[in-house]
Amino acid sequence: MVGLEMNDRAPLSLKKKIAFSLVVVCGFLFLAEVAARIIGLGQKKEVADYIANWKRQWDSDFYLMDLSLVGPETGINYDGLRDVPHELERKPGFRRIACIGDSVTAGYGVALFESYPLIMEKALMEQGHKVEVFNIALPGWSTRQESIAYERIARKYKPDQVILGFCLNDVAEMQNNLMMQQPSAITSFLYENSNVVRWIMRPHAHEIQRVEDLFDESEAPEIASGWELCFEEILRLKNITQTDGVDFAVIVFPFRFQVADDAPSPIAQRKLEEFCKQHEITFLDTLPAILPLKESGYFDHDHFSARGATAVSNQLIENKLPIVLHKQE
């Protein structure tokens, strides 16, 4: 009779089975999350705040300043840049130099006329040269945006020379933004809040967290990949400017930790220099100009103070990098 009663008992409904399964799965995931946090699996690794995330910050791979901000009080011009206004038609006898870069070139942290491009323009004008210098740069730009900026902005002004200001965080930005899949909103939420999800996804295996990583002699695959992406954009810009009959040069800016007494060997600068030499690109390392100033050459971790920007401008002029110093006007 007992056996019959048990056999006659109604089976669990589908809803109850699903609910029971969900409870079991949630319980397992909860225990897995607790275990992961105790053991230390999937710990969050923060990317340095000086490495831009294009999707999160701009929702695009290029941006300009809002034209509603245009005016002398903001220093924003009608190109959407932190620069003085420029006319399309050049003044008779004037040479044009387009300085393209990121926040370092733009002069983040200092007054508009304390950026190295405008300091250089003033110094050259005082020497009697007829020159107009463009500051085509914005925070967060990397070699990808700088290449786009030449085509969309600089080109219409028909510059005689482009000086590309390379900041070392470009390598990380190119790698992290171009080689890593952008997650969905749900995945992003889970990633931010779960050690288990971070351990499973392991996105940091292909991500660069700090510029200091570029100075490890045993170059990691993600570092090599980031460099290759930068090199592709530099070559692309070189080829475009060459087609336009425009002189092209690359200068590289050091980070503040490179002027410390215990600074690592400038491996990153040498790598870029070798690349430029191989492809016959004019190159200048600005570390020697900044080194004597130590930390006074900086506003923060990588942006120059007015003293630092002046030192860079002086170095460019002393090395006859501006086109007005080595070609007939």
Domain positions in the chain: 15-44, 54-176+206-325
Q: Are 329 and 95 in contact, with CB atoms under 8 Å apart?
A: yes
Q: Are 282 and 249 in contact, with CB atoms under 8 Å apart?
A: yes
What are the C-alpha distances in Å from 96 to residues 31, 132, 310? Answer: 65, 5, 20
What's the whole-model pTM score?
A: 0.80
Residue 145: what residue type? Q
What are the C-alpha distances in Å from 80 to residues 136, 166, 224, 241? Answer: 9, 21, 33, 22
For the segment 15-28, what is each residue's pLDDT rounded down to a tens digit?
Answer: 766 766 777 767 77
Per-residue pLDDT of the chain (329 residues; tens, 9 = 90+): 444 455 555 566 767 667 667 777 677 766 765 665 666 554 555 546 566 777 777 778 899 999 998 998 889 999 999 999 999 999 999 999 999 999 999 999 999 999 999 999 999 999 999 999 999 999 999 999 999 999 999 999 999 999 999 999 999 988 888 876 555 556 555 556 666 555 555 544 445 668 888 998 778 888 999 999 999 999 999 999 999 999 999 999 999 999 999 999 999 999 999 999 999 999 999 999 999 999 999 999 999 999 999 999 999 999 999 988 876 54
For the segment 30-66, what is each residue's pLDDT rounded down to a tens digit?
Answer: 676 566 566 655 455 554 656 677 777 777 889 999 9
User: Which class for 263: exposed (0-12), middle (13-18), buried (19 or more C-beta within 10 A)?
Assistant: middle
Q: Are 163 and 97 in contact, with CB atoms under 8 Å apart?
A: yes
Q: Are 110 and 313 in contact, with CB atoms under 8 Å apart?
A: no
Q: What is the pLDDT of residue 204?
A: 44
Q: Hey, which CATH number is domain 54-176+206-325, 3.40.250.10, 3.40.30.10, 3.40.50.1110, 1.25.40.10?
A: 3.40.50.1110
Q: Which residues of 114-141 are buried (b: 16+ CB within 10 A; e: fewer)?
A: bbbbbbbbebbeeeebebbbbbbbbbbb
Q: How far apart are CA 164 and CA 318, in angstroms?
A: 18
What end-to-end distance do the CA atoms of the chain give, in Å?
111
